[in-house]
Amino acid sequence: MQLQSLGAAQTVTGSKHILKTSVGDVLIDCGLFQGLGAKNPAQVPEELSKISAIVLTHGHLDHCGYIPKLVKHGFHGPIFSTLQTGEIAKLIMSDNAKIQAEQNRKKNKKIVKESEKSKPLYDLNDVAQTIPLFEFHQWGETFSWKGLRITLESAGHILGASSVKIEDNDKSIIFSGDLGRYTDPIMPDPKGFSSADAVVMECTYGDRNHDRSHTPESDLINVLKNAKKKSSSILIPAFSVARSQNIMFYLAHIFNKNKDLKVPVYVDSALTLAVTKLYENFNDFHKITKEDFASIHRHMTFIEFESQRERLEKDSGSKIILTASGMLTGGRSPYYLKHLGEDKNNILMIVGYQAEGTLGRKIVDGERVFQDGDDKLKWLGEVYIAKSFSSHADQVELLKWRSQILGLKKTFLVHGEQRSLEQMQNLIGPSAVIVDEQQCYSL
């Protein structure tokens, strides 16, 4: 077997790992690059034209967002994943097709010549062609494809997220996918595998451990107390998958225990609502109980109609707005930034990674006035950056996950910035390889 990465090599986005096996090329994840200078080729690279099957570890855009482009280009093989990952990917790919259409509409507004207009990578029709290719398997079940043996196991990262082991004759390799945290209040522990010849491991937090002195609950309580003092509102832009459900879960818990901190919470994102319904439907795959969801629905209002939004705009009382996108680029976030940004008492709570080039990153870097298309936006109030929320294993947890795999001859390090990759390489030793994009590695 050989490994070749076309994404998430010395960066954290665009995951695409090709495994060249004795029966054909299998692609593990097929994600979009995100952030500044994202390189998502309009022409499908030659290597991806030869793919026979895809294994999808989870439904985040940087792992599934390029699949419809491949399908548009002619890919018609199976896409193996858990059912939950398939359901999330469907929502994420559809949402992205709509975002691309909207971005292109804006970009092409002043371009007259048809030939000069930019085109989206794919549209909703391509997403519709992609859905039937999914073939679902459960964690722990080993299935066979053309003689390869493939097993998915829980990765603990988001709903349905998996690590995958692929065996070809007497060789075996594990792909970690994105790994979650141990003893997380919401997700199960990453399960992992007991043996393999090689592992391809994510290193997002390879250079550091999470600050355990803060918890999501303590961060939210800090912000709520602060907002109460100032009778202000809190804007929380959050990723629709996992992070928003986490916020709702913690807020419901806080309100149940501290009635005096309770404020109305409005959740305004169609994608967040759809993903939350998936979390509710797949109740056995995380730790949010039916009672927790009942609490969430008691304490929170989901905005589904324009009339609700109009009423909310006129309501000057203290409230929490939980919306998307998490990096304040697109979705409803800019609308609320505009609506709440000029009141110095309001608090903006940042709860996730902000990629370079996004509005969220500008705010984290200290900018407070920005141009967003034709709109001038500003945020004059406090910005609270919470670092306690993470659905990624940290350095200690990554090493713990890897240590249970016996017989490893090689560890391929991916999905990390240079510093993270180098630190993991130092900790693991000479068998660890920092994967270069395009380069082929033999097992």
Binding residues for Zn ion, rule: CB under 5 A, are 60, 178
Among 8, 4, 19, which Cα is nearest to 421's?
8
Nearest distance from C-beta of residue 224 to Zn ion, angstroms: 28
* The two three-digit tokens of residue 255, written as one number: 């309100």
Nearer to Zn ion (CB atom), residue 68 or residue 177: 177
- Minimum distance from residue 339 beta carbon to Zn ion (Å): 30
Q: At its nearest, how many Å lie between Zn ion and the CB of residue 58?
A: 6
User: What's the token pair of residue 125?
Assistant: 């029709």
Tokens 């989870």 sit at which residue?
58
CB 37, min distance to Zn ion, A: 20
Cis amide bond preceding 325, omega within 30: yes
Judged by beta carbon, residue 272 or residue 295, the one nearer Zn ion is 272
For 290-299, the CB contacts below 8 A with 24+ separation are 292/249, 292/252, 292/253, 295/252, 295/253, 295/255, 295/256, 296/248, 296/249, 296/251, 296/252, 298/252, 299/251, 299/252, 299/255, 299/262, 299/265
Separation between Cα atoms, residue 184 and residue 186, nearest integer Å: 5
Of 64 and 303, which CB lies nearer to Zn ion in the complex structure?
64
Of 167 and 178, CB closest to Zn ion: 178
Report the residue number, 153 or 178, with the smaller CB distance to Zn ion: 178
For Zn ion, which is the closer residue by CB, 179 or 265?
Answer: 179
- Least Å distance between CB 201 and Zn ion? 14
CA 426 to chain centre: 27
Query: To the nearest whole angstrom, how small is the minimum distance from the Cβ of residue 63 to Zn ion?
Result: 6
Nearer to Zn ion, 29 or 167 (CB): 29
| Residues with Cβ within 8 Å of residue 323, at least 6 apart in sequence | 235, 236, 237, 238, 267, 268, 269, 272, 331, 332, 333, 336
Contacts from 426-434 at CB under 8 Å and sequence distance 24+? 427/395, 427/399, 428/399, 428/402, 434/10
d(CA 184, CA 181): 6
Shortest distance in whole angstroms from residue 132 CB to Zn ion: 24
